[in-house]
Amino acid sequence: MKLDRRNLASLTDKVAKPAYLASQTRHGIAHIGVGGFHRAHQAFYTDALMNRGRDLDWSICGIGLRDEDRKVRDDLASQDYLYTLFELGDGDDTQSRIIGSISDMLLAEDSIQAVIEKLASPGIRIVSLTITEGGYCIDDSSGEFMSALPQIQHDLAHPDSPRSVFGVLCAALARRRANGTRAFTLMSCDNLPHNGAVARKALLAFAALSDIGLHDWIGAHVSFPNAMVDRITPMTSNAHRLQLHDELGIDDAWPVVCEPFIQWVLEDKFADGRPAWETVGVQLTDDVTPYEEMKIKLLNGSHLALTYLGFLKGYRFVHETMNDPLFVAYMRAYMDKDVTAQLAPVPGIDLEAYKNTLVQRFSNQAIADQLERVCSDGSSKLPKFTVPTINRLIADGAELKRAALVVAAWALYLKGVDENGQIYAIPDPRAAFCQALVADDALIVQRLLSVEEVFGSAIPRSAEFVAAFEWCLNSLRDAGVSKTLENLLHS
């Protein structure tokens, strides 16, 4: 049965349905970057809240700034903005549901002025973002805003027809300021350290180049809460759509697939109110830093430790790596010996239990999380998820081979061919640049590690790390993934 409002009551009782009508809701949130993670996370929590009959004035209006967002909008609009959240797990703790918290979506391609007007309207009190780790235009090596990017230069020259996220936000905030409308909260839900602080830095940097008065107003009135977000959300495949159809009888153009686990730790710093997310499981705190460090270094760092090695081995799903005892042993050694000592105590969290949970989550066979998804955008992920751990290991004079293996595996992954001779594409906006770094085998060490925006300055200056990296690289080439892991774990 096709998913839409008309058919909602006729859908199977095996799926939970919204207890509220779209007509009862009003937009309070505009979300830029409607994708799988937003729909499995922030929209899920907001839907859970609205199902309790409260905060119906916090419905979400999606905003699409990219050409590819048209299909997203069209798929959602064709089913009255409803979609299925399809939980997949190896146990019996899954609960799929129809989500109704998104109730419209505007496209910049149709009318940038309509987008700006929406963001400037008084009803919108939170603008949230999932624009990927690389979407904030911050140079990882210098920490500076990359104002020379073409889209930024365009927006500075044409402030009334912006294309970038920050040009659009500044245009909307300028209109709010001129109209005497209160500032909104800018809430990043992207998976990067200090995401609120990064969003603040990028927006203020753009505003300073555009209108210093607006810059000062934003600095005084806009809030930028940091958040730790967590839910494994694979790319929705056609196989997932067919599985949903076969198991629940729902014809959904764009369901979202996710694991049962979910977590959101959020700083309670909002400029003009917020939904009562704490009543549906969100943890509000004054400082998200320890949770963020735990998640980024353990979960995301371990993901990268597995993913490039797994892809080289010929695996294509995360659970396949976890079916291999060598990979599990390596992941545990990386977490226990390299990362845990770097973490401050995390309120309410038992780190040993958390690490055990990660092993269980990565082993989820039912969700079939794609290694390609985790491999993507490595040039943006490594500086955030792996390099800080390596820098601390260097400073502490610690063993470096386990962490160096992550980088060596990425270097060989960039070659675009696995141990079985299978050729694959590199899903990274800087793929051509990255692949050029590893084109000449004799120069990989010098060329790759010298890329400061990825590796910073401490890594190439560390003779110990360079030696560890060379050992890992040579071992992967000569002995292969499995033998390298065996040698590393028993050394």
DSSP assignment, residue 230?
Answer: E
Q: What is the pLDDT of residue 52?
A: 97
State both tokens at 75: 């798929």
Q: What angle do CA 251, 253, 257 make, to 5 degrees?
A: 90
Pairwise CA distance, residues 371 & 345, whole Å: 31
Do 426 and 345 reside in the same domain of the chain?
Answer: yes
- Read off the pLDDT of residues 355-410 as tens digits, 9 standing for 90 and up: 999 999 999 999 999 999 999 999 999 999 999 999 999 999 999 999 999 999 99
Do 293 and 388 reside in the same domain of the chain?
Answer: yes
Q: Of 285, 307, 327, which one is at a domain's C-terminal end?
A: 285
DSSP assignment, residue 337?
Answer: I
Q: Which residue has the tokens 């999380």?
A: 369
Structural domain total, the chain: 2
Name residues whose C-beta falls within 8 Å of residue 397's C-beta, 6 or more positions apart in sequence. Answer: none
- Region 46-68: mean pLDDT is 97
In a domain, 189, yes or no: yes
- Which amino acid is it at 71? K
* Half-sphere exposure in the Cβ direction for 430 (13 Å, CA): 14
In a domain, 173, yes or no: yes
- Read off the pLDDT of residues 146-197 as tens digits, 9 standing for 90 and up: 999 999 999 999 999 999 999 999 999 999 999 999 999 999 999 999 999 9
Q: Of 262, 285, 308, which one is at a domain's C-terminal end?
A: 285
pLDDT over 70, % of the chain: 100
pLDDT above 90 for 92: no
Do 234 and 306 reside in the same domain of the chain?
Answer: no
Do 256 and 395 reside in the same domain of the chain?
Answer: no
Do 311 and 227 reside in the same domain of the chain?
Answer: no
Do 16 and 39 reside in the same domain of the chain?
Answer: yes
pLDDT above 90 for 141: no
Split at pLDDT 50, 70, 90, the class of 142 is confident
- Read off the pLDDT of residues 441-461 as tens digits, 9 standing for 90 and up: 999 999 999 999 999 999 999
pLDDT above 90 for 93: no
Do 363 and 253 reside in the same domain of the chain?
Answer: no
Do 29 and 125 reside in the same domain of the chain?
Answer: yes
The helix-helix angle for 463-489 and 401-413 (nearest 10°) equals 90
Helix (H) or strand (E) holding 63: strand 59-64
Q: Which residue has the tokens 């659970």?
A: 319
Q: What is the pLDDT of residue 380?
A: 93
In a domain, 428, yes or no: yes
Do 369 and 392 reside in the same domain of the chain?
Answer: yes
Pairwise CA distance, residues 118 & 175, whole Å: 11
Three-state DSSP state, 235? coil
Q: What angle do CA 455, 458, 464 make, to 5 degrees?
A: 105
Domain CATH code at residue 478: 1.10.1040.10
In a domain, 2, yes or no: no
Do 277 and 371 reside in the same domain of the chain?
Answer: no
Average pLDDT over the chain, rounded to an integer = 97
Q: Of 250, 265, 285, which one is at a domain's C-terminal end?
A: 285
| Range 437-458 burial, b when 16+ CB lie within 10 A, else e | bbeeeeebbeebbebeebbbee
Q: What is the pLDDT of residue 80?
A: 97
Pairwise CA distance, residues 57 & 296, whole Å: 33
Do 379 and 442 reside in the same domain of the chain?
Answer: yes
* Half-sphere exposure in the Cβ direction for 484 (13 Å, CA): 26
- Read off the pLDDT of residues 399-428 as tens digits, 9 standing for 90 and up: 999 999 999 999 999 999 999 999 999 999
In a domain, 1, yes or no: no
| Residues forming a β-bridge with 266 | 227, 284
Q: What is the pLDDT of residue 186?
A: 98
CB atoms within 10 A of CB 425: 8
Question: Which of 134, 130, 166 lies closest to 42 in space, CA to CA?
Answer: 130
In a domain, 206, yes or no: yes
56, 20 Cβ separation under 8 angstroms: yes
- Domain assignment of residue 307, given as a range: 289-489
CB atoms within 10 A of CB 144: 12
Question: Which of 451, 458, 297 lies closest to 391 in space, CA to CA?
Answer: 458
- Read off the pLDDT of residues 209-218 as tens digits, 9 standing for 90 and up: 999 999 999 9
pTM of the model: 0.94
pLDDT above 90 for 491: no
| Range 104-134 burial, b when 16+ CB lie within 10 A, else e | bbbbbeeebeebbebbbbeebbbbbbbbbbb
481, 419 Cβ separation under 8 angstroms: yes
In a domain, 3, yes or no: no
- Which amino acid is it at 156? L
Do 278 and 301 reside in the same domain of the chain?
Answer: no
Domain CATH code at residue 153: 3.40.50.720
pLDDT above 90 for 140: no
In a domain, 363, yes or no: yes
- Region 54-71: mean pLDDT is 97
